[in-house]
Structure 1
Amino acid sequence: MTQQVSASQSDLSALSFEEALKQLETIVRELEQGNVPLERSIDMYERGAQLRAHCDALLRAAEAKVEKIQMGQDGTATGTSALDPEA
């Protein structure tokens, strides 16, 4: 995990949502165990914040794509509409 925590911001752009989420889950799990030295905890927290922001950006981009491809009842695209995850 040390290599992932010390990875640079440029490495984030190459990560898929699933890869970033998996790394974030690993960081959270390790931090919750409470047996990580303080300095490493800070590094892991910073990496986690970067991963969260990356996942958020990917989700926003996916939401924009979904809005563009909403389909009408006849199977044709109806243009954009707000994505309502509760609908």
Structure 2
Amino acid sequence: MSEKTHSDIAEMDFETALTELEQIVGKLEAGRAPLQESIEVYERGGLLKAHCEKLLKQAEARIEKITLDGNSQPQGTEPLDS
């Protein structure tokens, strides 16, 4: 597969990429594709997996935990993993 065929992955949102990845896994598990096509969709699946992982890491970096003061009132935020 060429870079052109993979360039659309960079524009996908998480849900779209995950849905396509699930379809690829199902297709490969069912053995419904000839060898060359299986190799191509496997490669695309790897790129989709990497894209989903990247999007998840970006989302995790943005998640913050709300901190409360002594009266249980919100006082600010801090990173989730602090």
Instruction: Calculate the TM-score normalised by the size of structure 2.
Output: 0.82
Which residue matches 1:75?
74
Tell me how far 1:79 sits from its aligned partner: 2.0
Which residue matches 2:54?
57
Higher CA-based Rg: 2
Q: How many residues align?
A: 77
Aligned-residue CA RMSD (Å): 2.0
Matches within 5 A, 1:26-37: 26-37=23-34
Instruction: Calculate the TM-score normalised by the size of structure 1.
Output: 0.78
Which residue matches 1:47?
44
Letter in 1 for 2:47: Q
- Matched residues, percent identical? 42
Cα shift readout 1:29-71 (whole Å, capped 9, x = no counterpart): 01110121000000000000000000000000000001xx210
The CA distance in 1 between the partners of 2:15 and 2:80, in whole Å, is 26
Tell me how far 1:80 sits from its aligned partner: 1.7
5+ residue gaps, structure 2: none
Letter in 1 for 2:65: Q
Query: Comparing both structures, which one devotes a greater share of its residues to strand?
Result: 2
